[in-house]
Chain A
Amino acid sequence: DIQMTQSPSTLSASVGDSVTILCRSNHNISNYLNWYQQKPGKAPQLLIYAVFRLQSGVPSTFSGSGSGTVFTLTISNLQPEDFATYYCQQTYSNPLTFGGGTKVEIK
């Protein structure tokens, strides 16, 4: 299985800040990397697919980059609704695996 490692596991920030979440894979996954946002009690929602492509309706304050084994999700100008848990996921090979999650909380 391809292992996905996210860091940090928790991130404290203020409204208006920019934050970056790191996701590493232990295998080259090309551009098969997606990001999801999950709020408490809700299903995850797709934010970014194929490293940097924004899902329809996702604000441009979200951006993704990377290739191969190292990927980042950046949220600029954090808004109150952005405080949530974020997961990366590789879809390069089965089983499709997720990172452990990064909780973005209010400082």
Chain B
Amino acid sequence: QLQLQESGPGLVQPSETLSLPCTVSGGSISSGNHYWGWIRQPPGKGLEWIGSIHYTGNTYYNPSLESRVAMSVDTSKNQFSLKLTSVTAADTAVYYCARLGIGGWELDYWGQGALVTVSS
């Protein structure tokens, strides 16, 4: 059974960089031609798409965040990562990683989510 797990600091200082890895187990990140994505959810609010990455390094970012977002893949660790620079309180959210299905990019496997709070 495929499992995804986000990890990282729960608290980030304003103007600094948020870094979150997502470790995949039960399957290889470089098999099946899947994209791997990031979604966030501010407390009490809806879901926002951040972007996705293929193991080859090809990426799609949400234009609203593109100037501050970078995603990467480390196939040796079976892991993909999110970096979000110059964070503000508006970036406080639960960050989810997920796998995109091949056919229609549905999000068929999700991590449990990691709450990241931006505060001094």
- Interface residues, chain A, CB within 8 Å of chain B? 1, 31-32, 34, 36, 42-46, 49-50, 55, 87, 89, 91, 94-101
How big is chain B's contact interface, by range? 20 to 34
A14: min CB distance to chain B, Å = 26
B104 partner residues in chain A, CB cutoff 8 A = 31-32, 34, 49-50, 91
Best-surrounded residue of B47, B48, B101, B108 (most CB of chain A within 10 A) = B47
Nearest CB in chain B to that of A91: its residue: B105
Contact A50 B105 (CB under 8 A): no
CB contact under 8 A between A98 and B106, given known A43-B96, A43-B112, A43-B113? no
Contact B110 A45 (CB under 8 A): yes
**A104–B106 CA distance with the chains assembled, in angstroms:** 22
Number of A-B contacts (CB under 8 A): 64
B1: min CB distance to chain A, Å = 11
22 A-B pairs with C-beta separation under 8 A: A32-B105, A34-B106, A34-B107, A43-B112, A43-B113, A44-B47, A44-B107, A44-B110, A45-B110, A50-B104, A55-B108, A91-B100, A91-B104, A91-B106, A95-B49, A95-B51, A95-B61, A95-B63, A96-B37, A96-B52, A98-B46, A98-B47
